Amino acid sequence: MTDGVTRTDVDKTMWLVTLADIITNNSTRQEENLVVILSREESWGPASERNSNALYRASCIMTLYLADTEQTKTQTFTANYWPLLSSLHLFTEEFRLEERLRGHGLGTWITQQFVLWARGLPPETRVWPIDISKADEKAKKTRSGGTGCGMQWGSGSRPGKTAQCRCG
């Protein structure tokens, strides 16, 4: 069964990322290696009165492939732009990295990639609030406007528009 929507891969970018050892007073976290693939996809539907160019959805998908001793684990984060609603969901679900990947700036880097992609969308696109983890919600720098996640919004503009979204 088809929904009448055609999906196309627009672009893919791949990185090999090495997260350095973290040594604290009580513990050591080992170096982590992962492959990160950023995919940009577009979904097209039949043209209509409201949508002459027939773009149904544009997505930016970040997939992390984590090397593990027994199997490869993946984590995927997705941003979706809905042209008919003129809205952007920077993260479609709670943005929460695996524990072993936290503390390296990886979350900030992922968010910055999404923000860079979003800057190419129409400037009046509405950006919906981002669901963050309970721990991040309590953190002062995250609560203060998303700058801890790599974003800067104009004063009083959250959730804001894509034109106000900047990399921090």
pLDDT in tens, 56-96: 899 999 999 987 767 778 999 999 999 989 999 988 777 78
pLDDT in tens, 102-157: 888 898 899 899 999 999 999 999 988 776 666 666 665 544 445 444 455 555 54
Residue 96 within a domain: yes
The continuous run of DSSP H or E covering 111 comes out as helix 106-118
| pTM as predicted | 0.75
In this structure, the dihedral spanned by the alpha carbons of residues 121, 43, 11 and 123, taken in order and rounded to 10 degrees, is: 0
DSSP 165: -
- Of 31, 28, 29, the C-alpha closest to 20 is 31
Domain coverage including residue 73: 6-167
Residue 1 within a domain: no
Residue 147 within a domain: yes
Total structural domains in the chain?
1
54 conformational bin, left if phi > 0, alpha if psi -120 to 50, beta if neither: left
